[in-house]
Homo-oligomer: A and B are copies of this chain.
Amino acid sequence: MPSFSATTGGVDATLDSPLARGFSVGPIVARRAAFDAPLALACGRTLPQYELAYETYGALNADASNAVLICHALNASHHVAGYYAGAPDDIGWWDNMIGPGKPLDTDRFFVVGVNNLGSCFGSTGPASTNPATGRSWGADFPLLTVEDWVDAQSRLADRLGIRQWAAVMGGSLGGMQALDWAIRYPDRIRNALVIAAAPNLSAQNIAFNEVARQAILTDPDFHDGHFEAQHTKPRRGLRVARMIGHITYLSDEQMEERFGRELLDGLKFSFAPEFQIESYLRYQGEKFADYYDANTYLRITKALDYFDPAAATGGSLARALAPATCRFLVVAFTTDWRFSPARSREIVKALVDNNRDVTYAEITAPHGHDAFLLDDRRYHGIVRAWFERIAREFAA
């Protein structure tokens, strides 16, 4: 167990009461698992072999009953908590949630972060080498679904000796994966934590994804997805895609409070950034274009669009969720307009219709969709209480 010390990083400096809020898991190492058994995909194609990048925090107990899987959203990865040795600022994306003494306490749970197939952070994806050609897959990499990801994750669970997850947890697209685990692997999951998610995308959600995709697809540097062979990347498209996405992650209220109509340096009557919000969005776009892969972005937005468990049950979400037997914690945030509380309540309603054990928390928070990544006392308090209950079960 990593302990708190000056050299291993330790306390979250931003929290007002670090001892009460937990410590960092400390320096961690990313791992890779290689799979040679072909994976049949929803699109009809098969991945002959693949690798999954993952990280683990805490220790698996003797009967492997304390394992928790964290599923990531659009632009995140398997790097969920802690930091890499020699890179103390490269902190996991859900580090405020996971660590010794944190809501998901790594002193009690064995936590697994996994990078999804098709991503650009270590698991096999469009930038990986296609064994059939010896060149990078690029545009030839198949389109994936949430179900494909979960199937691949189930093989990683096998590899790690985890027959049943104490919990699968995710926010946004990660919450959709938790939902799919509950539906299609009901005997392999005891708890699903479905946070800031939706049972499918609305027309407006799909519309935003499509505009982002069009920005990438029509960028002359995209080269039909084979931009790597041209030694370039569609930076323009990635920038615009990220700017659009970013608007939908923040609430109108939060954007108003953070930026309002603040100017950088007076009106210039030019197309250089004049308002703070313009400068902020351009910065976010640039950063994203630096580190993200366009073919991955296209595929992940498509996986979001495709997810719709009720499509297989004539539109009935209740019937789609009937196979799910685990307990559910569903969390939504009041100002989230990407996946609004109303969408979470659809999930809750469908579970109640099935007489399932579900707890619903609607958190009053100003931060929009991004709230699921932030440290909010009530939100974290509910997650903490949920995991304490689970821990009592395997400790008993």
Contact = CB atoms under 8 A, between A and B. Distances in A.
Given A210-B277, A214-B239, 19 more contacts: A44-B269, A202-B256, A203-B258, A203-B259, A203-B275, A204-B247, A204-B256, A207-B247, A207-B255, A207-B278, A210-B282, A211-B240, A211-B281, A218-B236, A240-B240, A244-B244, A267-B306, A269-B302, A275-B305
A383 interface: no
Interface in A192-225: 200-204, 206-208, 210-211, 213-215, 217-220
Interface of A: 42-44, 142-143, 200-204, 206-208, 210-211, 213-215, 217-220, 236, 239-240, 243-244, 247, 250, 252, 255-256, 258-261, 267, 269-271, 273-275, 277-278, 281-282, 285, 298, 302, 305-306, 308, 311
A373 B244 CA distance: 26
A320 to B, nearest CB: 14
A273 B247 CA distance: 23
A214 B201 contact: no
* A42, A214, A282 interface centre (most CB from chain B within 10 Å): A214
B240 A207 contact: no
B240 A204 contact: no
A204 to B, nearest CB: 5
17 contacts: A43-B269, A44-B269, A202-B260, A203-B275, A203-B277, A204-B247, A204-B256, A207-B278, A207-B281, A208-B247, A210-B275, A210-B281, A211-B244, A214-B243, A215-B240, A218-B240, A261-B311
A203 B256 contact: yes
Number of copies: 2
Nearest to A144: B269
* A211, A281, A282 interface centre (most CB from chain B within 10 Å): A211
B143 A261 contact: no
Contacts of A218: 236, 239-240
Nearest to A275: B206
Nearest to A213: B271
Contacts of A250: 204
Given A43-B269, A206-B278, A271-B217, A308 B247 contact: no
A239 B285 CA distance: 19
A27 to B, nearest CB: 38
Contacts of A298: 271
Contacts of A278: 206-207, 210
A368 to B, nearest CB: 10
A255 B201 CA distance: 12
Contacts of A203: 252, 255-256, 258-261, 275, 277
Contacts of A240: 211, 214-215, 218, 240
Nearest to A246: B207
A130 B217 CA distance: 36
A337 to B, nearest CB: 8
Contacts of A213: 271
Nearest to A259: B203
A147 to B, nearest CB: 13
A346 to B, nearest CB: 12
A207 B245 CA distance: 11
* A213, A215, A305, A306 interface centre (most CB from chain B within 10 Å): A215
Contacts of A308: 261
A143 B270 contact: yes
A208 B278 CA distance: 10
A375 to B, nearest CB: 23
A210 B285 CA distance: 12
- The 10 closest A-B CB pairs, nearest first, are A43-B269, A203-B255, A203-B259, A218-B236, A143-B269, A211-B243, A210-B278, A203-B277, A204-B252, A207-B247
